[in-house]
Structure 1
Amino acid sequence: MRVGLTGGVASGKSSVAAILRELGAVIIDADLIAREVVERGTPGLARVVEAFGPDVLTADGDLDRPRLGAVVFNDAEQRRLLESIVHPLVFERYAELEAATGPDDLVVHDIPLLAETGRAAEFDAVVVVDVPDEVRIERMLRDRGWTRADAESRIASQATREERLAIATHVVDNAGTREQLRARVEEVHAELTAS
């Protein structure tokens, strides 16, 4: 079974993915792959530098994510340009990883921008980690040290809560305790593996 897992920034999607992994699911992590495809020495990084200039590199020649983020998260055109470079490379890597799984595996694609890319129909099920925007902002201020403006800008650059919920076959509310989160993820896992 192929499952899409998504949620907005600071929704706790990574926590849900970790619980699913503990329960035996195979996790294919878009963020991890997105980092992989632009590591030093990759064609992906060369294309990003070609598009955005050498200022997006650290002194060591790695991608300076905060600097690039400052450019793309406040400019929709620049963000689309970056996505046009990175997304095809990520999808290619997904296909390789998925091909290596077994026929009985629960394969969960951890995709932060699933609603934005319009790919929900490619999956047998879509799990959306849902948290009110104000809770997400509080988490970004507390856990990531972001400013309120940065947090609001990041949320505004992603699909709305309503857009994500519209593609959900399963919703995991992560506004409660860790115990409540685990219990709900175990319920969803049981439903997915019973299918």
Structure 2
Amino acid sequence: MMKPWILGLTGGIGSGKSAVAQCFVDQGVHLVDADHAARWVVEPGRPALAKIVEHFGPEVLLADGQLDRAALRARVFADATERRWLETLLHPLIGEEISQYLARAESPYAILVSPLLVESGQHQLTQRVLVVDAPEQLQVQRTMLRDQASAEQVQAILRAQTNREERLRHAHDVLVNDRDLSWLRSEVERLHAFYLTLRGGQA
């Protein structure tokens, strides 16, 4: 049994990563979501949460002891030094979680979905990178709808994320997601058929 190779799936906010990821899951591909791993490492009782509270104070906790993500996000988006501190703490822990989950894959290839695939260095865990891209105007519209956010908030997140050129520079494959879901499904089916022909993620 060959060990599955790992496909990194990334894209800017509102590009439709989740929809693409779901299409791959529907094809039976094992998928690990870095955002889920990022949530697991800060669950109550995990060492990362204690360190975050020690550093930022109890105001980043909700009444039930869970992390108050909105409060923490507000702090780290306002201060690049604090964001770097948090990333230095969390990225290695998230990397460990991801590796453990990827190791359980039984499909010919597995997918690591991560909005920060390039920035966090998580692309080093993968053999191939698929970037989901979309026109910026569409990204902003989708995100405002999904998160009930203002255009300004979405623009701020877009600025904080790796720029499009940097993401595309790491891409082996690019999926421009600017049409409807049935088109997207057929594109994913086409990519999936291609990926099944690859050994170790390379043609």
TM-score (norm 2): 0.90
Off by >4 Å, runs of 4+ in structure 1: none
* 1:77-105 deviation per Cα after TM superposition (whole angstroms, max 9, x unaligned): 22111111111111111121122234x53
Name the SS for the 2:62 alignment partner.
coil
Separation of aligned partners in 2, 1:79 and 1:49: 14
* 1:9-43 deviation per Cα after TM superposition (whole angstroms, max 9, x unaligned): 12111111111111011101100110011011211
> For residue 25 of structure 1, what is the amino acid of its counterpart?
V
2:11 corresponding residue in structure 1: 7
Indicate whether 1:165 and 2:165 are aligned. Answer: no
Alignment of 1:51-70 (within 5 A): 51-70=55-74
Q: CA deviation at 1:74?
A: 3.1
2:150 corresponding residue in structure 1: 147
> For residue 10 of structure 1, what is the amino acid of its counterpart?
G
2:197 corresponding residue in structure 1: 194
> For residue 78 of structure 1, what is the amino acid of its counterpart?
E
> For residue 176 of structure 1, what is the amino acid of its counterpart?
R
Structure 2 alignment gaps of length 5 or more:
199-203
Counterpart contact for 2:108–2:196, Cα < 8 Å? no
Counterpart contact for 1:74–1:153, Cα < 8 Å? no
How has the CA–CA distance of structure 1 residues 92 and 120 changed in structure 2, closer, same or farther, with 3 Å as cutoff?
Answer: closer
Counterpart contact for 1:173–1:181, Cα < 8 Å? no
* 1:20-69 deviation per Cα after TM superposition (whole angstroms, max 9, x unaligned): 11101110110011001101121111111122111111111111111111
Separation of aligned partners in 2, 1:72 and 1:148: 20
Separation of aligned partners in 2, 1:171 and 1:21: 18
Separation of aligned partners in 2, 1:27 and 1:86: 21
Q: CA RMSD in A?
A: 1.4
Alignment of 1:29-178 (within 5 A): 29-102=33-106, 105-178=108-181
Q: 1:181 aligns with which of 158, 181, 184?
A: 184
Counterpart contact for 2:91–2:120, Cα < 8 Å? no
Counterpart contact for 2:130–2:174, Cα < 8 Å? yes
Aligned pairs, number? 194
Q: CA deviation at 1:119?
A: 4.1
Name the SS for the 1:114 alignment partner.
coil
Q: Percent identity?
A: 40
Q: CA deviation at 1:161?
A: 1.1
> For residue 177 of structure 2, what is the amino acid of its counterpart?
N
Q: CA deviation at 1:191?
A: 1.2
My pick for the range that moved more, 117-126 or 93-102, is: 117-126
Name the SS for the 1:115 alignment partner.
coil
> For residue 42 of structure 1, what is the amino acid of its counterpart?
R
Separation of aligned partners in 1, 2:57 and 2:15: 32
